[in-house]
């Protein structure tokens, strides 16, 4: 009889553990799907946006550390006074300095290029 009770406890524990693992897997898969769909919709918005080429000045440069990785940002100020910030590569971040003036090309929130005036 004691053996039968132990088997029932083991079986119930196994079912509960399996349900917990199943719920965790579903939550993780849902998070991955949301992140993927957000990335896809952002890319669609980029490609549907008009490519803009405008005179701008580098207003500021920033580095943000997220999840142990550095992200490089440059903020550009337009003649109108509007300021936009873009995530750029480490190489582009090092290439320019605050106050540089040139022609900025971007599409949506995606940085394309910055040609410094000489």
Instruction: Give pLDDT, residue 54.
Output: 93
CA dist., res. 81 & res. 25, Å (int): 48
CATH number of domain containing 69 = 2.40.50.660
Mean pLDDT (the chain) is 86
> Does the reported pTM lie above 0.75?
no
Whose CA is closest to 109, among 64, 73, 56? 73
Residues 10 and 31 in one domain: yes
Residues 29 and 63 in one domain: no
Residues 69 and 41 in one domain: no
- Number of domains present in the structure of the chain: 2
- Containing domain of residue 30, as a range? 1-48
Which of 1-5, 17-21, 66-70, 111-115 has the least mean pLDDT? 1-5
Residues 36 and 73 in one domain: no
Residues 105 and 79 in one domain: yes
Residues 80 and 94 in one domain: yes
Q: What tokens were used for 8? A: 């029932």
């Amino acid at each position: 009889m004691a053996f039968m009770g132990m088997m029932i406890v083991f079986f119930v524990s196994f079912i509960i553990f399996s349900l917990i693992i199943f719920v965790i897997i579903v939550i993780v898969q849902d998070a991955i799907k949301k992140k993927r769909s957000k990335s896809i919709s952002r890319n669609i918005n980029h490609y549907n946006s008009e490519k803009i080429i405008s005179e701008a000045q580098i207003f500021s440069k920033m580095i943000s550390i997220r999840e142990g990785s550095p992200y490089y940002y440059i903020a550009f100020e337009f003649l109108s006074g509007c300021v936009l910030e873009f995530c750029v590569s480490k190489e582009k971040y090092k290439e320019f300095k605050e106050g540089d003036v040139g022609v900025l090309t971007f599409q949506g929130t995606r940085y394309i290029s910055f040609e410094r005036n000489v």
